[in-house]
Each structure stands twice: as C-alpha cells, then as structure tokens.
A = this chain, B = another copy of it.
Amino acid sequence: MTRRSSSVTIRDVAREAGVSVATISRYINQSARVSDDVAERIELAIEELNYVPHAAARHLATQRTRVIGLLLTNMHNDFFAPLVSGIEAVVQHQGYNLLVATHRADSHLDIQLPIGSHNTDGMIVFADSLREDDIIGLHRNGFPIVLIHRSTPDGYEIPSVTIENKDATCRLVEHLITDHGRKRILFVRGPANQEDSQWRELGYLQALENHDIPRDPQLIICGEFEREVAYREMVKFLEDSQTDFDAVFTGDDDSAIGIVNALVEAGYRVPEDISVAGFDDLRLSAFLTPPLTTVNAPTELVGRTAAEQLFDLLTGKDVDPIILLPTEIVIRRSCGCFV
C-alpha cells in the first residue's frame, strides 16, 4: 500500500541526525540518556525539519491519549465559562488536551457518546449530561470519571465535586427573614431533577421552618434556571396570583435577573418593596442594579478541583470520593442591605 504523507516523521529526523529512531524517541520522551553529541544533532534535526510527533501514533503505541474529555449539557449559560476555564487551566498545566462536547441525557439512546475511553484518558461529567446507566457503564470498564454537580449513583464510588447548597441557602433566606423582616418569600426553583436545585429548595424550606413560617406551595414557581423562563413565570404570577409576597429567592442568579426585571416592570421597587436574592454569584451579579445579594458558587474552583481529581485518578493516587466546596453568602443591595 502506498500512501502519500506530507508530514515529517521520526524516521526523517533519525536519518537527518544520523541515528536510529529509537534514539530519537528516547531523546524526545526523556526515557533514557543520550550522549550530548547526539542530543545536539537531534535537536538540530528536529528544528531543521520542523518535526512534531504524531499524536495518534503516540496514542496507539502508549495506549494513552493525553486528552481528557468534558461532557456538558450545553454551553449557553454564563455559568459554563468559568467552569471550562478552571478545567482547561489544569489540563493545560498537565500537558494534556481538552475535548469538550455537549450531550443531553435524553438524547436518543443509540447515539454514540462523542467522548469516552476510545478517545480520552478520562472524563469530567457535568450534572445530568449522562444517564446513570452510562456513567455506571463507563465506570465499570475502569474508565476514570469525575462527576460535577451530581452525586455518585447508589452503590458506586465515583469521585464527585460539588458545592454546599443547602446550608448557604438556608442562611441567606434567614437573612431575609431576620434582618429584613420578610416573611412571605417566593421561591423560584430550578429543574426538578437537578441536585443543586433540590438542595437549594431544601435550604429554603429549612429556613422557613427555623422561623416557624408555614410553607406555602403558592409561593413556589419554576424558573428552570433560565432567565427567560423565570421572567415569564414571574409575570404570570403577578398577573394571576392573589398571593402577596415581600421577597424572592431564586435558585440561580440568571433567574434573579429575569425576576427583578418582571418586578420592576410591574412597578415594584427592589429592594424597597421586594427583597431579591439569588445563587451563583455570576460575574455580572455585582453589576446589576441593584447589585444582587446571592451565594457565591466557586465555579472555576469546581472545574479546577474536578480536573485535579481526575489527574489523581489517572496517576493512581487516592481520591476523595466526594468533595464539597464551601460557598459563601454575598450581601449586596437587592436584599435591602446598604453596602
């Protein structure tokens, strides 16, 4: 079989340097010493021919791709920028490459995953981008996985990195209650199957309970962690519902923006009439008017940590089965505080 190949191979370098391919390989991978004289000639030849090792050939020979994968549900939300950024930093520092792909768990079942053991050494899985079966399947084959914002399937021990949701939410809602005297607090929930969303709802309920405020199902609407949805639902709520309220806590900052907009358009003043607080502390939250009181989620750190976990996994180190990163309440103006 004859195949044209415009690229320069290790063989060309070997010929140019007057040594064998094995020596070239050794020099490149530092897998053994070569004499200074030879090293110099190799260096020169590489420079001369502009040689770059062919990744695929390397992968095939070493059984390692030096690539890690990241599976996301989508890339639209501003939330993903810091996440990917954190991951990419670690990956690059380790001399690896990053393959990103989107995939929703409800995709047609017969679809091949774009990322897996066939093209990466390990992967980071965001929340519900994968079905539980698929996660288990990959994990059972010994493929290194780290979960983000999602807990390990029952009975398995797959490392996961997530953040403290409930307690921070509870404290923030309590802030609305005790420091601002709010008692009728509307909760804007996220997707029902999202773990973060669930914990935040529990935190909200906990706060009510702590202060003997009866929970009112009327005071919960669905924002789906999407600004537009939250906006629409809020508008609808304002039109339809007779239920009065004096504060809004949203499971995410993105929704909070939509909520504030709906409120302002309806003539409410934030925070004078209605206190508003969110969760995430997106980069823009501090710049809103009024600046948004929220919970800071260390999203870039989540990415960074998950990547580090994955590399620990790859190098056979011990890995914490679950890492819960601390969150922090950020008091700004939208709750009613003067800061």
Interface size class of A (residues with CB under 8 A): 35 or more
Pick the interface stretch among A31-39, A52-60, A181-189, A317-325: A52-60
B52 touches A116 (CB 8 A): yes
Could you tell me the distance between the alpha carbons of A142 and B98 in the complex, rounded to whole angstroms? 24
Asked, given contacts A52-B117, A101-B88, A101-B98, whether A287 binds B257 with beta carbons under 8 Å apart, the answer is: yes
Asked, given contacts A65-B56, A78-B78, A289-B289, whether A114 binds B85 with beta carbons under 8 Å apart, the answer is: no
Q: Judge whether A11 is part of the interface by a CB distance below 8 angstroms.
A: no
Q: Judge whether A108 is part of the interface by a CB distance below 8 angstroms.
A: no
Pick the interface stretch among A1-9, A150-158, A201-209, A307-315: A1-9
B77 touches A81 (CB 8 A): yes
Residue with the greatest number of chain B CB neighbours at <10 A, chosen from A78, A117, A289: A289
Q: Judge whether A219 is part of the interface by a CB distance below 8 angstroms.
A: no
User: How many Å from the CB of A210 to the closest CB on chain B?
Assistant: 32
A-to-B contact residues, CB < 8 Å: 3, 5-7, 52-60, 63, 65, 67, 74-78, 80-82, 84-85, 88, 92, 97-102, 112, 114-119, 141-142, 227, 257-258, 260-261, 264, 283-284, 287-289
